Structure 1
């Protein structure tokens, strides 16, 4: 006689319905589908307002992207578009060069209006305090007084808007220093290793002191450090020491920020180009306070190939966001966020969006905590094909919307992604954990 299976008994007593769990990584035993609901335990989907404002022409021309891309005029509509997409999070940069008028002097006119509207619309800003440029009175990134003055500004912002918790004190520190002092494109427009190291140390110090100022008013501050995920491949039989060093230099901003000792070759480079032993020891004392999130920005043009004739071409997706960011994660052991991506080819943008998302899914499958994803930016940009170095008024069609605020195909693709994944937790079984309002306390590694 055939004995009964336990399955027969379960089906008879409990029915044939599916027994929900958390196997999908979604909240409360669901798949995680549905537009974002703003839960503190859920993954953060975002976009951003392009807010770069470096100077070119040796300080004569200010490249204010919030002006050039129409945000000062259409800011209300821009915030409405964020709501219409179903997003709850926005990378947003206040125009530092317009607000900080001098030591202890601020003009909050525009900032007060837009911050009030962000709060009213229940949009969570990741507040960007310095995006590639400085107020005229501060000069450039060679100025050793930058850390003190900028930290005063950061504290003033945190005091004035105490409801803001997420901050990017300085956007893309490495890119800022390299474009300004090594490549000669912006601001001081210098082209030397010494100028690069000077800019780098001043900017990292500014970010560290700014974070200390922020946590005086928000002890639970979450610091999302947006940094460019870059790599140079060398297609030569004999690898050059210059490219080897370049691929180490891209890590310098985070090494100094997170108190991670670089190798001997990089240490010697820093010492040879103006970093003092006392300054190095100061950086290595420990990472700044607050909950630290490592944001990695990835564009296909960030990854390059140097050919045998030393010409350079794009190496889009040879490694990709996953491989490059995994290397950063293994080095710094910080929670991750994909803080910027786009493509200048609007017809290919939906595919690029899905490719970036699959990179994130793969990272999650490795057990790395990925907090969020950002398509940058909400609207098209101007002249980023020349890194803002030339004033050509070329529209880069990389936004979710064009400059008339009409949707591009990638906007629909993003809506589809949000409807499918908008309520996933940061990692499976994420109900056990959520972003709390507890003060951030530095932990000792074990």
Structure 2
């Protein structure tokens, strides 16, 4: 009789292995291949640019769905998403066109698009408010905004009950800052009190909308997309303005997630119109639903303030990894990279891969990063000046140009999706699915 246990295993069971042993016990798969649409898949996504703020004191609407010609090419745009191999799409319904007044809606365009998204098997992350509100609502100084918007969110959830993923209000901090501190959009104000007012109304709108969505879809996933920002000051002594600004970048998520405010930020808010009663309401608890903290990062999100007050882009001084790690350590929420691009088309491929390396490094360090988004599907218009004027400048930042011709970065994204498309949303997360299928993935990325 042999003294080698392998001889006995081979005699009884053959080689003693089964498909997948080489992948640590998984079902013969290492994560390569296009996304399958499984809930366990990492969420590779793109988005349709849908910003719609007003400028010129409310006289001009910047509707990027129109300016990027999505209203004309929506069927082709959705097919392009599918052609890339993507299964997830950040999609913004045109709130300013749908919500005509209290309990009055025009669903014609939305119904057509949503039916096609469903037919194509695309999972939408529905973006309900993207920098602008209907004319009849006015702007973000309107205290009735949370009520009106909550009713709209309820109507959307009732009309499309198959939708699970939502971004109620996109980039709350940017919305409030650009509208009421920088004076660019909507109310175009430039004072602290207006900024705090816009902030509290917009956060409250997000909370109330989430409540209405989850009432109708208890398993809703809320992807709260927020801009990851930082100011680097090239001075020996830090200015009060820069110090406060770097704290205020957290204010929207602090209020949304009931995170106690920094003392300086709290005094700033109380001095500028936030009441103790309102603060207590925000701090009462987190909104319902499964919460994902989406962090948007562009190289221009980081700025260096020079001694003379001028500034320059500071891309990658911190980068998405370090900035998002700060947000994650603060809120301890699963993370998604919800927006990135560059206006320099020749740099786009390298920027894409650099962002993806940030995601992989974050996951390897144990942070649950659930998805990645190149924003947007097509080029955009006038975002180099933050939509402040209607110049018609095309920003070559899309996976496709405005003629719907694929850019090199689009081809690179195809490569990325084919290589990593079936990695798990969370490494080893498939063990939490209730299924009769064997373990399918067990990879370290």
- Report the TM range for the smaller structure's normalisation: over 0.9
Call closer, same or farther: CA 1:76–1:8 in 2, change over 3 Å: same
Spell out the pairing of 1:378-397 with structure 2 (5 A cutoff).
378-397=377-396
What whole-Å deviation, never above 9, does each CA across 1:59-93 have from its counterpart, x for those lacking one?
11100000000000000000010110010000000
CA contact (8 A) 1:304 1:312 kept: yes
What CA distance in whole angstroms lies between the structure 2 residues aligned with 1:306 and 1:322?
22
What CA distance in whole angstroms lies between the structure 2 residues aligned with 1:390 and 1:74?
25
Are 1:307 and 2:294 an aligned pair? Answer: no
1:22 to partner: Cα distance: 8.3
Range moving further from structure 2, 397-406 or 239-248:
239-248
1:15 to partner: Cα distance: 4.5
CA contact (8 A) 2:19 2:28 kept: no
Structure 1: unaligned runs, 5 residues or longer? 437-446
Partner of 1:204: 203
1:244 to partner: Cα distance: 1.1
What CA distance in whole angstroms lies between the structure 1 residues aligned with 2:225 and 2:26?
27
What whole-Å deviation, never above 9, does each CA across 1:132-171 have from its counterpart, x for those lacking one?
0010000000000000000000000000000000000000
Call closer, same or farther: CA 1:239–1:79 in 2, change over 3 Å: same
1:307 to partner: Cα distance: 1.1
Spell out the pairing of 1:17-416 with structure 2 (5 A cutoff).
20-21=20-21, 28-416=27-415
What CA distance in whole angstroms lies between the structure 1 residues aligned with 2:265 and 2:22?
45
Give secondary structure in 2 for the equivalent of 1:129: strand
What whole-Å deviation, never above 9, does each CA across 1:96-152 have from its counterpart, x for those lacking one?
000001111111111111111111111110000000001000000000000000000
Give secondary structure in 1 for the equivalent of 2:113: helix
What CA distance in whole angstroms lies between the structure 2 residues aligned with 1:106 and 1:27?
49
1:433 to partner: Cα distance: 2.6
What CA distance in whole angstroms lies between the structure 2 residues aligned with 1:256 and 1:132?
19
What CA distance in whole angstroms lies between the structure 1 residues aligned with 2:26 and 2:125?
23
CA contact (8 A) 1:22 1:428 kept: no
TM-score normalized by structure 1? 0.93
1:238 to partner: Cα distance: 1.3
Partner of 2:439: none
1:20 to partner: Cα distance: 3.3
CA contact (8 A) 2:20 2:26 kept: no
Range moving further from structure 2, 362-371 or 377-386:
362-371
Give secondary structure in 1 for the equivalent of 2:225: strand
Call closer, same or farther: CA 1:334–1:137 in 2, change over 3 Å: same
Structure 2: unaligned runs, 5 residues or longer? 436-445
CA contact (8 A) 2:55 2:185 kept: yes
1:28 to partner: Cα distance: 3.7
What CA distance in whole angstroms lies between the structure 2 residues aligned with 1:6 and 1:268?
72
CA contact (8 A) 1:41 1:433 kept: no
1:4 to partner: Cα distance: 8.6
Partner of 1:441: none
Call closer, same or farther: CA 1:417–1:396 in 2, change over 3 Å: same
1:30 to partner: Cα distance: 1.6
TM-score normalized by structure 2? 0.94
Give secondary structure in 2 for the equivalent of 1:77: helix
What CA distance in whole angstroms lies between the structure 1 residues aligned with 2:424 and 2:399?
24
CA contact (8 A) 2:338 2:372 kept: yes
What CA distance in whole angstroms lies between the structure 1 residues aligned with 2:38 and 2:233?
44
Aligned length: 433
Give secondary structure in 1 for the equivalent of 2:136: helix
Call closer, same or farther: CA 1:7–1:427 in 2, change over 3 Å: farther
Partner of 1:420: 419
Call closer, same or farther: CA 1:157–1:239 in 2, change over 3 Å: same
Call closer, same or farther: CA 1:183–1:10 in 2, change over 3 Å: farther
1:430 to partner: Cα distance: 2.2
CA contact (8 A) 1:92 1:128 kept: yes
CA contact (8 A) 2:19 2:27 kept: no
CA contact (8 A) 1:27 1:430 kept: no
Structure 1 stretches of 4+ with a deviation exceeding 2 A read: 3-24, 26-29, 433-436
Call closer, same or farther: CA 1:160–1:308 in 2, change over 3 Å: same
What CA distance in whole angstroms lies between the structure 1 residues aligned with 2:85 and 2:172?
30
What CA distance in whole angstroms lies between the structure 1 residues aligned with 2:38 and 2:421?
10
CA contact (8 A) 1:211 1:289 kept: yes
